[in-house]
Amino acid sequence: MLTFQKALELINMEIQHIDYPKEPGSLYEPMAYLLTLNGKRIRPVFTLLACNLYKEDVNEAVPMAVAWEIFHNFTLMHDDVMDKAAMRRGNPTVHQKWNENTAILSGDAMLILAYMYLAKSSSGHLKSLLDLFSDTASGICQGQEYDMQFENRPDVTENEYVEMIRLKTAILLGASLKSGAMIGGASEKDCNRLYDVGINLGLAFQIQDDLLDVFGDPLIFGKKIGSDILCNKKTYLLVNALSTSGGKEKKELLFWLNAHDKGPEKIKAVTDLYTRLHVKEKAREKMNQYYDKAIQAFQSIDVEENKKSVLMNLADELMDRES
Amino acid sequence: MLTFQKALELINMEIQHIDYPKEPGSLYEPMAYLLTLNGKRIRPVFTLLACNLYKEDVNEAVPMAVAWEIFHNFTLMHDDVMDKAAMRRGNPTVHQKWNENTAILSGDAMLILAYMYLAKSSSGHLKSLLDLFSDTASGICQGQEYDMQFENRPDVTENEYVEMIRLKTAILLGASLKSGAMIGGASEKDCNRLYDVGINLGLAFQIQDDLLDVFGDPLIFGKKIGSDILCNKKTYLLVNALSTSGGKEKKELLFWLNAHDKGPEKIKAVTDLYTRLHVKEKAREKMNQYYDKAIQAFQSIDVEENKKSVLMNLADELMDRES
């Protein structure tokens, strides 16, 4: 049975040997830079582990797994341009280290490279993997567009927020698992169940991200606490606070949303408001609901219980993470 | 036999009925905007006409043809951002009409949409079309990167320039023709010959573009005469003038390249220099060489002569164009 460690090694080995066209370097160096910046490789590992539920030899799933990782990094490269982000995984973003045009063009070439890896999959699965990949990629663009639109909207509902994170982050986890199952030869039913597992895990992980940004342990959390608050990012917490508060608290919240020059003071005030409005508890509850749904879907798949432990443990660990 | 007009109708019909995801509009409207801005549709028409050389019914080639057109428009959307271009086909560019982030993200979604169209091709050709498409798309990114690099290099050689336009524009024409031939069932030899036809036509067309910008008829040419000169664009003419001039003329040319605030005066001076250096004649000779090569390659394909007339006439017309 494939361990997490072994899956990670298979992925990293393949990523180390990506055959980038050598010229011009300014087009390909940014891809290699971003791809080797210590990503967690959750998506490609999901693909291999899902494949391994149905098939001992997962080599056939490696190109597809790497395609997801390349694709994920493409979205980071372009999202960082759009969000004008300076740092990524503790290092300068591509458009900071090079420039914006390089980040746009390298990102384009990276999306194409992801399709090149997908195309290495065996011909029997090619068409269905291609459709899954394009549908997922297209949905993620929709999610990013909603995310940008939400920046300027004070009236985002919880349902709209959930739909945005479903598109922007959850469907990629769903598709990573599903593609592995497809290559492993799973039934259509199991493929769809694993897609649901990924969707619900993705939603749970994103709400967890939102929580960690505000309530994480500053010593363990890799990024600065409160950065979402500082830039008024529409998180589950903020959307919930905006929709459930009224009177004095709503007024206070709107005041702080309009305060752009207050650093630690704003973080403290908004965090206090979140506490008074119990949005922390509500977010935790929602997160746990999605996680439970994921586990239920995972339990329903038609695979011997002992084979499920690696993916199960990985999901548990990801849910327990503090950074 | 398929006429040019009929091929164009098939393409435009399909483009009018593209099933864009409806939400969010800001992601999809820019795609529809650019795709219906009066493009010449040369690439998809090439695909259908090449298919028709080998097969009466070209319907199977329509998705691939449309994929090339969508892809081409994706490159325009992103190139316009990178080049900070304000106008495209006489209308505001997408990043002007919307904003830069929309142009980046809609472009990404458009590249994915192109792959979705490609994926509608019949399964027998899917893998080879996918490889051709990704290789072409990747090469075009390389070409764009070279083009941007050349802006800041005074020492671009003619060979480097030709390699850049081969990647940036010619391989797309080659691949458009080749893919149509593949779907039509042509031999590998003919597929490769048609690729060569496209490459050489593409090189000839680009040099013709370079010539028209300077020596075109202002009343017929759609854009302003001399715009390449104003922005020091590395064209066949400029690269040639820089590499063949010496002494007084070289000095004069470098002076004008550094003159950024002189409009009509700069255009007149550089055009005069081009005339004195005979770069117009050299460019025409080069263009004709490529065109002749294209025609030779076309004549060598294994298809009855009478079937070749539509593509032959189209190439002739494109070569005679003044706008």
**Per-residue confidence (pLDDT) for residue B75, from 0 to 100:** 98
**B1-125 — its CATH code?**
1.10.600.10
Q: Establish how many alpha carbons lie within 13 A of residue B210's alpha carbon, considering only the half-sphere containing its beta carbon.
A: 29
**Per-residue confidence (pLDDT) for residue A73, from 0 to 100:** 98
Instruction: Judge: B134–A119 Cβ closer than 8 Å, yes or no.
Output: yes
**Per-residue confidence (pLDDT) for residue A220, from 0 to 100:** 75
Structure tokens at B207: 């040099």
Average pLDDT over residues B103-126: 97
**Per-residue confidence (pLDDT) for residue B322, from 0 to 100:** 72
Nearest to B82 among A27, A105, A148 (CB): A105
Query: B202 to chain A, minimum CA–CA distance in Å?
Result: 22
Nearest to B142 among A24, A82, A144 (CB): A24
Domain with CATH 1.10.600.10 in chain B: 1-125, 134-323
**Cα separation, A5 vs A176, whole angstroms:** 18
Strand, coil or helix: B8: helix
CA B188 from centroid of its chain's CA atoms = 24
**Per-residue confidence (pLDDT) for residue A218, from 0 to 100:** 80
Class of domain B134-323: mainly alpha
**Percent of chain B whose predicted confidence (pLDDT) is above 90:** 85
Structure tokens at A53: 């539920």
Strand, coil or helix: B246: coil
**Per-residue confidence (pLDDT) for residue A323, from 0 to 100:** 67
Residue B196 has pLDDT above 70, yes or no: yes
B contacts of A145 (beta carbons < 8 Å):
24, 26-27, 105
The pLDDT tens digits of the residues spanning B259-285 come to: 887 788 999 999 999 999 999 999 999
**Per-residue confidence (pLDDT) for residue A182, from 0 to 100:** 98
Class of domain A4-320: mainly alpha
Average pLDDT over residues B55-64: 98
The pLDDT tens digits of the residues spanning B133-188 come to: 999 999 999 999 999 999 888 899 999 999 999 999 999 999 999 999 999 999 99
**Per-residue confidence (pLDDT) for residue B218, from 0 to 100:** 80
Instruction: Judge: A145–B78 Cβ closer than 8 Å, yes or no.
Output: no
Residue carrying structure tokens 């797309």? B172
What residue ranges of chain A have pLDDT lower than 70? 222, 323
Residue carrying structure tokens 């905007």? B33
**Per-residue confidence (pLDDT) for residue B68, from 0 to 100:** 98
**Cα separation, B237 vs B319, whole angstroms:** 18
- Asked if the interface predicted TM-score (ipTM) of this complex is over 0.95, the answer is yes
Residues 6+ apart with CB under 8 A from B96: B86, B87
